[in-house]
Amino acid sequence: MSDSNEKIIVRFAPSPTGFFHVGSLRTALFNYLFAKQQRGTYILRIEDTDKERSKKEYEDDILACLKWLGITHDAFYRQSEHAEEHKRLLKKLVDEGKAYVSKESEVAQETISTKADMTNRRESVIRFKNPNKVVIWNDMILGPISVDTTDLGDFVIAKDFDTPLYNFAVVSDDTAMDVTHVIRGQDHISNTPRQVLIYEALGAQVPAFGHIPLILAEDKAKLSKRKHGLSVAVRTYQDEGYLPEALLNFMALVGWNPGTEEEIFTLKELIDRFSIARVQKSSGVFNMTKLRWVNKEHIKKMSLDEQCAKITEFLDENTKQLADREHAIFDRIVPHILERIEIFSDVTKLCEQGELAFYFQAPTYLAEKLSFKGTVLSEEIKTHLIRIKEILENLSELECMDIEMLKKAISAYTDTLPSRGNALHPFRMSLSGRDKSPDPFTITSVIGKTEVQERLQRAIDML
RNA sequence: GGCCCCAUCGUCUAGUGGUUAGGACAGCGGGUUUUCAAUCCGUUAAUCAGAGUUCGACUCUCUGUGGGGUCACCA
């Protein structure tokens, strides 16, 4: 553990070998929260030592996603920028006899496992001289862990002096950057003993380690590619209209809780409440349904302007044009759209399923649809619709826009009927033309008295 | 298989020897509703198993079982 007056330095070190993954996102988040809460430094370091697999495209994706999420770093490095330092330390270890250049030709035949590709193997590599001791560290999350490194053998730390491998490069960089706390996924536990050995060989201060639980798919298998329609790429959550803070909020909640019954947090609130001691030991399942719920809670907290802007962004072309032309109507639909979505791409679905069009344009439908449950005679329906039209006639435009007032006026009539549905169903159908839609009072409050009168008349004419 | 880690409702979790084992999401039921959505109320559901320690174990110990991670000249 560190002194309380020692400044905390953490890093998030993704390798740009794939699109930014939600699992990595949580590692970044926990590092960020831990650092920010204690006024420490959060470093972003791109681990690009694997020249074959690293791509600029992936680095750009990581950076863009992090920016979208609002996880801002205090310092930025690429591991490849530190080649000289890696080389220097590698030479130092070899000079001190703590590592050695190993000729592989003799050992090759027996050592090579089936998955290793013989053609890519070199005739010499740099191996770490394993002191074969028991390494113990007190994990910030898991508690004491001890591993006998004897069976690790003299593991390879570099292909040559210019090509360090992961375990060595990480220790070299973390040392150079004075990283005090290494927070990473539990899939790194098995790397830790090797790294501790390297720290000790370098005579460097060993940082504190905290291995956070992994995130699993619904079938409890590793979160990989597209499973159960769930994507692992952070980018897709942005594309689908999730709010960055909602995603962060949800990710924080799998593997951590504040110890209270609060569940919805802004990034700022997460920083205030976070505690590494309350991080879970066991892995958690990524539950998309709950994510959607969290997202909806965050949507509710947005300002009306923000909500409008976001909805507009996800309108399909056709609806967007209608909304532009009739923005007064659009403004009035917004609260009703909000009721029907959990993520903003739901808005696009609403458009595609025709659940918004009737607000802008009179619907077309079959006359028989006007009959409630198909049992009411046209003559009766006609009577009801004419009556409703008359009631509206006596209401002001303003009264029609007030759902409660309107409902009261119409109910005065429909409540006298044996079945209100006989009148209210055709009323609603004449306005929306759909089997399932918002109620006629809501629609009236959006489209206004005149338009309703017209639609009512069209229905009456159809009967 | 070796090594390491983990284990409370379907899922995320609270709980740190004595609780009717709490909350949230989902589910189910109901209220409100012409319908859908939304909303409100209610409700089903869990301590992996077996020993031990103890007056008393979800909680401590051991064993078993189950799940996961890792065993690269990737990171």
pTM recorded for the entire structure = 0.94
A282 CA to B4 C1' distance (Å): 14
**Using H for helix, E for strand and C for coil, what is the string for A174-240?**
HHHCCCCEEEEEHHHHHHHHHHHHHHHHHCCCCCEEEEECCEECCCCCECCCCECCECCEHHHHHHC
Q: Residue A284 forms beta bridges with which residues? A: A215
On whether the CB atoms of residues A370 and A434 are closer than 8 A, the answer is no
Whole-angstrom Cα distance, residue A7 to residue A15? Answer: 26
A255 CA to B19 C1' distance (Å): 25
Tokens representing A151?
């069976």
Least confident residue range of A70-74, A142-146, A195-199, A229-233: A229-233
Tokens representing A142?
């898991």
Q: Residue A396 forms beta bridges with which residues? A: none
Residues of A 99-128 whose CB lies less than 7 Å from any atom of strand B:
104, 108, 113, 116, 120-122, 125
| CB-strand contact A151/B, under 7 Å | yes
On whether the CB atoms of residues A250 and A223 are closer than 8 A, the answer is no
Q: Give residue for tokens 């330390």.
A: A89
Band of pLDDT at residue A224, cut at 50, 70 and 90 = low
| CB-strand contact A420/B, under 7 Å | yes
Instruction: Give yes or no for residue A110 having a pLDDT over 50.
Output: no
Instruction: Give yes or no for residue A262 having a pLDDT over 50.
Output: yes
Work out whether strand A41-46 and strand A75-78 pair parallel, antiparallel, or are unpaired: parallel
Q: What share of chain A has pLDDT > 90, as a percent?
A: 86
Band of pLDDT at residue A149, cut at 50, 70 and 90 = very high
* CA-wise closest residue to A316 among A338, A345, A359, A295: A345
Mean pLDDT for chain A overall: 93
- pLDDT, one tens digit per residue, over A27-56 is 999 999 999 999 999 999 999 988 889 999
A221 CA to B68 C1' distance (Å): 8
Whole-angstrom Cα distance, residue A2 to residue A196? Answer: 16
What's the residue count for chain A? 463
Q: Give the single-character DSSP code of A407.
A: H
Least confident residue range of A26-35, A291-300, A343-352, A376-385: A376-385
Work out whether strand A284-285 and strand A215-216 pair parallel, antiparallel, or are unpaired: parallel
- pLDDT, one tens digit per residue, over A392-401 is 999 999 988 9
Q: Residue A41 forms beta bridges with which residues? A: A9
Whole-angstrom Cα distance, residue A173 to residue A171? Answer: 5
Class of domain A1-73+213-301: alpha beta
pLDDT at A6: 79
* HSE, side-chain direction, 13 A CA sphere, residue A315: 21
Q: Residue A256 forms beta bridges with which residues? A: A279
| CB-strand contact A40/B, under 7 Å | no
Whole-angstrom Cα distance, residue A363 to residue A312? Answer: 22
Q: Which nucleotide is nearest to A261 (CA to C1')?
A: B23
Q: Which nucleotide is nearest to A186 (CA to C1')?
A: B69
| Relative orientation angle of helices A327-340 and A440-447, to the nearest 10 degrees | 150
Instruction: Give yes or no for residue A5 having a pLDDT over 70.
Output: no
Band of pLDDT at residue A372, cut at 50, 70 and 90 = confident
Question: What are the structural domain ranges in chain A?
Answer: 1-73+213-301, 304-360, 367-462
Question: Closest CA to B35 C1' — which residue?
Answer: A436
Q: Residue A209 forms beta bridges with which residues? A: A182
- In angstroms, how far apart are the furthest CA atoms of chain A? 102
Over residues A142-171, the mean pLDDT reads 96
Whole-angstrom Cα distance, residue A430 to residue A360? Answer: 14
Residues of A 224-263 whose CB lies less than 7 Å from any atom of strand B:
253-257, 259, 261, 263
Band of pLDDT at residue A2, cut at 50, 70 and 90 = very low
Beta carbons within 10 angstroms of residue A287's beta carbon? 15
Instruction: Give yes or no for residue A105 having a pLDDT over 80.
Output: no
Instruction: Give yes or no for residue A123 having a pLDDT over 90.
Output: no
Protein-proximal nucleotides of chain B (any atom < 7 Å from a CB):
2-8, 10-15, 22-26, 33-38, 67-75
Q: What share of chain A has pLDDT > 70, as a percent?
A: 94
On whether the CB atoms of residues A222 and A216 are closer than 8 A, the answer is yes
On whether the CB atoms of residues A169 and A79 are closer than 8 A, the answer is yes
- pLDDT, one tens digit per residue, over A169-214 is 999 999 999 999 999 999 999 999 999 999 999 999 999 999 999 9
A196 Cβ neighbours under 8 A, 6+ residues apart: A135, A137, A206
pLDDT at A108: 47
pLDDT at A109: 45
Task: Give the CATH architecture of domain A367-462.
Answer: Orthogonal Bundle (1.10)
A405 CA to B21 C1' distance (Å): 49
On whether the CB atoms of residues A230 and A250 are closer than 8 A, the answer is no
- pLDDT, one tens digit per residue, over A226-254 is 555 568 999 999 999 999 999 999 999 99
On whether the CB atoms of residues A207 and A177 are closer than 8 A, the answer is no
Over residues A153-159, the mean pLDDT reads 96
Q: Give residue for tokens 């972003």.
A: A44
The dihedral sign for the CA sequence A215, A216, A218, A224: positive
ipTM above 0.90 for this complex: yes
Q: Residue A11 forms beta bridges with which residues? A: A43
Beta-strand runs (E) in A60-130 = 75-78, 99-103, 124-128
Tokens representing A9?
């330095």
Whole-angstrom Cα distance, residue A257 to residue A50? Answer: 36
On whether the CB atoms of residues A413 and A423 are closer than 8 A, the answer is yes
pLDDT at A323: 96
Same fold? A1-73+213-301, A367-462: no
